[in-house]
Amino acid sequence: MRIEDRGLRIEQKRLAVVAALVLAALPTQAAPVAAIVRDGITVTLYDEPCALAAVANLPYRATWLDPKRGHFEGCYTVQHHTVVVLYFGDRTVFTAPLREFRPSGAAPMRQMTL
């Protein structure tokens, strides 16, 4: 192996490490799939996995934003392609027709229909 080749490989490895560090430092945020607003409360559905350890049967992440009570993480599923069933960390259970949710963000609505 020539010295020039070895130097090039070291430089490529350094570049790869720097690129990995830059990508790791970027903020990651899931795009919302759909949302509904009722009585000032916004419920947003995401296409990322549910993060609540206590929930096993609702596979996707949801958020509940209530100006009076705050922000709550939750999980959801779509049953029979018509009803969204949600559970939140404050033990709130919420259901709504799928047709009432409005698409938002870049993720397609088809992500929700299981």
**Where along the chain do its domains lie?**
32-112
Q: Which residues contact 56 (CB under 8 A, 6 or more apart)?
A: none
98-109 exposure pattern, b = at least 16 Cβ within 10 A, e = fewer: beebebebebee
DSSP 18: H
Q: Provide, rounded to the nearest whole percent, the portion of the chain with pLDDT above 70.
A: 65
pLDDT for res 29:
61
pLDDT for res 110:
44
**pLDDT surpasses 90 at 28:** no
Strands 93-97 and 102-103: unpaired
Question: How far is 78 from 96, CA to CA, in rounded Å?
Answer: 10
What confidence tens digit (pLDDT) does each residue in 11-20 have? Answer: 555 544 434 4
DSSP 40: T
